[in-house]
Structure 1
Amino acid sequence: MLIEIDFEAEIPIYEQLKRQIIEGIALGHLKAGENLPSVRQMAEDIGINLHTVNKAYNELKLEGYLNIDRRKGAMVSSMFPKSTEDFDEKLREDLKYLIAKAYLRKIDEKKFLEFCSSIFKKYNKN
């Protein structure tokens, strides 16, 4: 899986890494039980600080997407977290922001829903 970091983006680097790993899992590019590169190796490969990789890996562990073992390193979890009220509320808040931005740019509901549907379909193929 290729990780691409935008050093000019408003999104923090650890968050970009975290999002790309989650997307890689959802797309099937990373399989359950698959090892990720070590923190040091990932940092070298993409040219970022190892503490940044460590933060992303730890957040992914806390959220249930990775298992981290001192001997084996970081591995994709075989059981992903289920939706919760907290997750649903966070999702609702994130969507409110994105919908407000789309609305102000004159993207209508139909077009917005088409965007959502086309993206969601990418993940349903796995």
Structure 2
Amino acid sequence: MFIELDLQSETPLYEQLINQLIEGIASGALKPGDPLPSVRNLAENLGINLHTVNKSYTLLKQEGFLQVHRKKGVIVQPDAMPGVTAEFEAKLFRQLRSLAAEAAVRGMTEEAFVNRCKRLYEDTTMKRGGDGQ
């Protein structure tokens, strides 16, 4: 699996795992209906506590990115992915606002900031050939 966690990062491990799984879905590395490793197996493979993986899976299930089946285990949502909600837009605004502010303080132009964001979006979704909608 493509997941690499940074044990020295200030970002909690469960959040890193969530982010990487969502990136995997966005890039097409994880497709709708794909099975994910069990909580125990993924925790063992990554060398982290199984409660960390369980928390990540639970939050992704609550958000609509994953489904849990008794027989199939954890799978990538086979139906429609969650849409853009007011909560998501608020989260996006908060995160981009702080990054935009730091970019401005460091002397990055608005054009450079927007171009970086656009390139990152394109790179993230390029493998699946979608527009992220």
Q: TM-score range by the shorter chain?
A: over 0.9
CA–CA distance in structure 1, aligned partners of residues 11 and 105 of structure 2: 21
SS in 2 for 1:115: helix
Map 1:24-43 onto structure 2 (within 5 A): 24-43=24-43
CA-CA distance at 1:53 after TM superposition = 0.2
Amino acid at match of 2:39: V
Where does the alignment leave 5 or more consecutive residues of structure 2 unmatched?
129-133
CA–CA distance in structure 2, aligned partners of residues 100 and 10 of structure 1: 20
Match of 2:114 in 1: 113
CA–CA distance in structure 2, aligned partners of residues 117 and 5 of structure 1: 25
Amino acid at match of 2:61: K
CA-CA distance at 1:125 after TM superposition = 4.6
Amino acid at match of 1:91: L
CA-CA distance at 1:120 after TM superposition = 1.2
Match of 1:88 in 2: 89
TM-score (norm 2): 0.90
Q: What value does the CA root-mean-square deviation take over the aligned residues?
A: 1.0
Q: What is the number of equivalent residue pairs in this alignment?
A: 126
CA–CA distance in structure 1, aligned partners of residues 72 and 87 of structure 2: 31
Match of 1:62 in 2: 62
Match of 1:11 in 2: 11
Between the two proteins, what is the percent identity of the paired residues? 48
Match of 2:49 in 1: 49
Structure 1 pair 86–12 and aligned structure 2 pair: CA distance change class (3 A): same
CA–CA distance in structure 1, aligned partners of residues 20 and 53 of structure 2: 12
Where does the alignment leave 5 or more consecutive residues of structure 1 unmatched?
none
